[in-house]
Structure 1
Amino acid sequence: MTTNPPLISHPVVTRDRWLAQRKALLAQEKELTRQRDRVASERRALPWVKLEQDYVFDTPQGPRRLSELFQGKRQLLVQHFMLGPGWEQGCKSCSFMADHLDSIAIHLAQRDIAWLAVSRAPLAEIQRFRERMGWKFDWVSSHGNDFNRDFHVSFSPEETARGEVFYNFHMTPLSQQEAPGISCFWRDDDGQVFHTYSTFGRGVEVMMGAYSLIDLTPKGRDEQDMSYGMEWVRHHDRYGDAAAPATGCGCA
């Protein structure tokens, strides 16, 4: 009788030795938690920017201004979802992010937070992909406005041809015309909208709750490059499909 070899060659120790090393790691984890809390406090203290333009989006309910998309909440989180005009499907990494949304929307609402995705593709193309993926969250099109360009997640062919674009608050090597991000907005009682925060690149991992659990396991993410990883990710209806591409958008 044969047995399969272990997937990972790894030290095996007594429980006492494991506990000693685990407690040392716990001290680092606690410090990371405290540091995360400090950063979150500084994030909330950032000044805001008043938007001079109330962008108009195409929605299933017709044209709607940004100020009309808060669903009665004061706070709005936007996923800058990579789905450009004419694309066959949305970015697989952005789709991995979006897979987390429907289950947490009710909890966000309890914290006075509305959520939606924005893409530059026309609304009909968004709706087609949304139906395929079975998502319920709000998703609107910025095809007719400059929202994506103003928030530096969509780039012209001329910009990408230069080899660098302004992304993640600095000039970044990027060849693709769409990039991921998350932005937060506040709407006051007069309907004025303020931009409060944006994060890009690996900052979008805040949406990827599955990663927090994956990071607990022995294999972890098993990604070759932590800057441009996610080689293993597929659209959730393409796992097991040998023809599904392993490459795709990553986060800088």
Structure 2
Amino acid sequence: MQKIVSREEWLEARKELLGKEKALTRLHDHLAAERRKLPWVKVEKPYVFETESGKASLADLFEGRSQLIIRHFMLGPGWQAGCIGCSFVTDHDQGALMHLTHHDVNFVRVSRAPLAEIQAYNQRMGWKGRWVSSSGSEFNYDFHVAFRKEDGPMFYNYRDVEFMGEDQPGLSVFVKDEAGQLFHTYSSFGRGDEGAASSYFYLDLTPKGRRENGPRHNLMDWVKRHDEYEASAPSSCCAAE
């Protein structure tokens, strides 16, 4: 049990914490500005993806917009289902798609699995938004989210680590200039995209927090694909009595 205090004592403690929260918000804004100042790398390799409408280049994935976010979704050839963590964050991505596309940003998921396997899992999950296959391309390997065990240590999250599997999660950002040239501006891995999962924001507000206390000490301790949770009684205020 936490310490039980008067409303006045709680208010003093809350105001002290508020100061720290505001400092974190200002730091976040500063980091976002620093991120935008990163130099760019020109993308010259002709990557080709399999899409629902045929083959597409990286430039095609912009769909007329000047900025592109790629979610490197962990779904390898022959997998029965996509990564639980990638599925968790993709549930949250869905609400952002309309707003991003109306703000000059296209958002596309990319996986190594064949297109038919991607489409089957996408249908199961009921997601919207574009999801393409990089099968036969070096795209995932070049952007350090796919690995071959025989190549030795993985260069993942900007450091060499022991092999952890053929696929890893991440986000990569690209921009297209007026001349049609493509540039890689940013990539993030591991917990770098955690801010996209608004469930964490809400859990962090609660007294019990994330409760990731199991053997993995991450979302794998509790998250399931959204169609795998056990049915429970409705809890909304609008539920029938």
Query: 2:72 is matched by which residue type in structure 1?
Result: H
Residue 229 of structure 2 aligns with an amino acid whose one-letter code is Y
Tell me the matched-pair count. 230
Match of 2:161 among 172, 175, 186: 172
- Do residues 129 (structure 1) and 145 (structure 2) align? no
Q: Distance in 1 between matches of 2:11 and 2:38?
A: 41
| Structure 2 CA distance for partners of 1:130 and 1:237, relative to 1, 3 Å | same
Contact 1:183 1:199 in 2 (8 A): yes
Alpha-carbon distance between aligned partners in 1 of 2:217 and 2:113, rounded to the nearest angstrom: 24
Number of the residue aligned with 2:210: 221
Instruction: Confirm or deny: 8 A CA contact 1:89 1:129 kept in the other structure.
Output: yes
Structure 1 residue runs without a partner (length 5+): 1-8, 242-252
State yes or no: 1:13 paired with 2:13: no
Instruction: Identify if the C-alpha distance between structure 1 residues 70 and 206 changes in structure 2 by more than 3 Å, giving closer, same or farther.
Output: same
Aligned to 1:194: 183
Distance 2:192 2:225 in 1: 21
Residue 35 of structure 2 aligns to which amino acid in structure 1? Answer: R
> Identity of paired residues, percent?
50
What are structure 2's unaligned runs of at least 5 residues? 232-241
1:204 to 2:196 alignment:
no
Match of 2:76 in 1: 84
Deviates more, 1:57-66 or 1:188-197: 188-197
The one-letter code matched in structure 1 to 2:228 is: R
Distance 1:216 1:54 in 2: 45
Does the 8 Å contact 2:69/2:173 carry over to 1? yes
TM-score normalised by the chain length of structure 1: 0.88
Asked if the contact 2:49–2:58 (Cα under 8 Å) also holds between the matched residues in 1, the reply is yes
Aligned-residue CA RMSD in angstroms? 1.6
Aligned to 1:47: 39
Q: Does 1:72 align with 2:54?
A: no
CA distance in 1, matches of 2:63, 2:100: 12
Asked if 1:237 is matched to 2:241, the reply is no
The one of 151, 168, 172 aligned to 1:183: 172
The match for 1:94 among 82, 86, 92 is 86
The range that moved more, 189-198 or 177-186, is 189-198
Q: For the residues of structure 2 that align with 1:227 and 1:88, how far apart are their CA atoms? A: 22
- Distance in 2, Cα, partners of 1:187 & 1:78: 14
- Structure 1 residues 71 and 227: alpha-carbon distance in aligned structure 2, compared to 1, 3 A threshold: farther
Classify 1:73/1:225 alpha carbon distance in 2 versus 1 (closer, same or farther; 3 Å): farther
Partner of 1:24: helix, strand, or coil?
Answer: helix
- 2:40–2:184: 8 Å Cα contact kept in structure 1? yes
Contact kept, 8 Å, 2:149 with 2:163, in 1: the verdict is no
For the Cα contact (< 8 Å) 1:54–1:67, is it kept in 2? no
* Structure 1 counterpart of 2:91, one-letter code: D
Amino acid at match of 1:66: L
* Aligned counterpart, 2:143: 151
Query: What corresponds to 1:111 in structure 2?
Result: 103
The alignment partner of 2:150 has SS state of helix
Give the letter for the 2:164 counterpart.
S
- Residue aligning to 2:30: 38
| Closer/same/farther in 2, CA of residues 227 and 110 from structure 1, 3 Å limit | farther
Deviations 1:8-29 (A, max 9, x none): x222211111111111110100
User: 1:52 Cα deviation (Å)?
Assistant: 1.2
